[in-house]
């Protein structure tokens, strides 16, 4: 096993508050690893300890199977949740400035092409769009040619088109052999990008595995949905449980074929029917609950 990062029994206290509680995981080179959880679950604190931004209370972190050295910060790339940029500099000038901070860098032209910065390279930092800004921040995180890349909620606030464009870019970076640690509140994003995910709650990792494996293990069944006005027969004679949600009816079933046979046998018009398979969001809600976290 070719490990690039190993975290052992990581703990972080803020006074009496336990933000990270005995977190352990290991990553092989070239994977995209998603760290998921509700607000306050400990994701960002865990990432910031691993990044060497804040000190742990206890625990061990190994990079390339050795304890981290001062050069660790030079060798990894970080895209923070929020990064302040100087408004009086252009994108090109900011790239050149960041390049001067590191000993090992690549040509700026490569980043411009990879992250598609050419169309706004000479615009000031405060004049670019949200999608352009996220691609630009990703380029800054890649400027030192890191093998390990941290992306902390990289697509927050983006419209669907900009988010999809960013996903394609992250896929290209991963295909180039980078290892990625991703935090996100978008379960669709994690399911699309990640080879493996860990779900945190109250400072602990409660489950870990591939998205498909977690879906099979923690979210069984399929939901058939149709307009309520199509479901015109008596529910008492229907062998499956039917739930009314606003203007629709929902039927949860372990056997879609059997459900459809019953609907057809009862003369239900299926033309507006949809079938919802379980996904990572279903797993997330099943494990962490549906109550709003502040």
pLDDT at 283 over 70: yes
**pLDDT for the residue 290:** 59
269: its two tokens: 């018009």
Whether pLDDT at 159 is above 50: yes
pLDDT per residue over 119-131, tens digit each?
999 999 999 998 8
- Distance, in Å, from the CA atom of 275 to the CA atom of 278, rounded to the nearest integer, reads 10
pLDDT at 292: 46
pLDDT at 286: 86
Burial class (CB in 10 A: 0-12, 13-18, 19+), 271: exposed
Cβ distance 27 to 179 under 8 Å? yes
Question: Which residues are within 8 A (CB) of 155 and not within 5 positions of it... i.e. 6 or more apart?
Answer: 134, 162, 163, 166, 167, 184, 186, 189
Give me 109's structure tokens.
């032209």
Tokens encoding 36: 């998921």
- Tell which residue, 132, 184, 198, 125, has the closest CA to residue 154: 184
> What are the structural domains of the chain?
3-217 (3.40.50.300), 221-277 (3.30.70)
pLDDT of residue 264: 87
pLDDT tens-place string over residues 171-192: 999 999 999 999 998 999 999 9
User: Dihedrals φ, ψ of 52, to 5°?
Assistant: 70, 30
Q: Rounded to an integer, what distance in angstroms lies between the CA atom of residue 136 and that of residue 122?
A: 12
d(CA 71, CA 69) in angstroms, rounded, equals 5
Q: pTM (2 decimals)? A: 0.85
Maximum average pLDDT range among 5-9, 84-88, 282-286: 5-9
Quick: pLDDT tens for 224-261: 898 888 777 665 667 888 888 888 888 888 888 988 88
Q: Where is 26: in which H helix or E strand? A: strand 17-28
Q: Specify the DSSP class assigned to residue 90.
A: B
Six token digits for residue 209? 């595995």
Max mean pLDDT range (34-43, 190-199, 253-262):
190-199
Q: Which residue has the tokens 């700026």?
A: 108
Q: Does 293 have pLDDT greater than 60?
A: no
Q: State the Cα–Cα distance between residues 190 and 71, nearest whole angstrom.
A: 30
Q: Residue 138 phi/psi, 5° resolution? A: -65, -40
Side-chain-side CA neighbours of 45 within 13 Å: the count stands at: 26
Residue 201: predicted pLDDT: 93
Mean pLDDT of the chain: 90
At 49 the pLDDT is 95
Give residues with Cβ within 8 angstroms of 228, minimum separation 6. Answer: 244, 247, 248, 249
């Amino acid at each position: 096993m070719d490990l690039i990062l190993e975290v052992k029994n990581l703990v972080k206290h803020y006074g009496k508050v336990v933000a990270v509680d005995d977190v352990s995981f290991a990553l092989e080179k070239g994977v995209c690893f998603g760290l998921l959880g509700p607000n306050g679950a400990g994701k960002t604190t865990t990432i910031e300890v691993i990044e060497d931004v804040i000190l742990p209370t206890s625990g061990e972190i190994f990079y390339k199977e050795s304890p981290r050295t001062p050069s660790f910060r030079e060798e990894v790339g970080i895209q923070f949740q929020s990064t302040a940029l100087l408004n009086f500099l252009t994108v090109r000038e900011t790239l050149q400035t960041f390049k001067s901070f590191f000993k090992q860098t690549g040509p700026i032209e490569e980043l411009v092409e990879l992250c598609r910065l050419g169309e706004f390279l000479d615009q000031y930092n405060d004049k670019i769009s949200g999608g352009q800004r996220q691609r630009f921040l990703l380029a800054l995180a890649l400027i030192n040619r890191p093998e390990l890349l941290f992306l902390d909620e990289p697509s927050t606030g983006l419209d669907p088109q900009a988010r999809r464009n960013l996903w394609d870019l992250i896929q290209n970076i991963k295909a180039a052999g980078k290892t990625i640690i991703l935090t996100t509140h978008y379960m669709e994003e994690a399911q699309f990008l990640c080879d493996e995910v860990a779900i945190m709650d109250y400072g602990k990792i409660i489950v870990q595995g591939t998205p498909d494996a977690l879906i099979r293990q923690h979210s069984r069944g399929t939901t058939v949905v149709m307009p309520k006005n199509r479901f015109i027969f008596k529910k008492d004679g229907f062998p499956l449980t039917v739930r009314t949600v606003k203007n629709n009816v929902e039927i949860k079933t372990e056997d879609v074929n059997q459900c459809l046979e019953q609907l057809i046998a009862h003369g239900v018009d299926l033309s507006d029917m949809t079938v919802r398979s379980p996904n990572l969001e279903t797993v997330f809600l099943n494990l962490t609950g549906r109550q709003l976290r502040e």
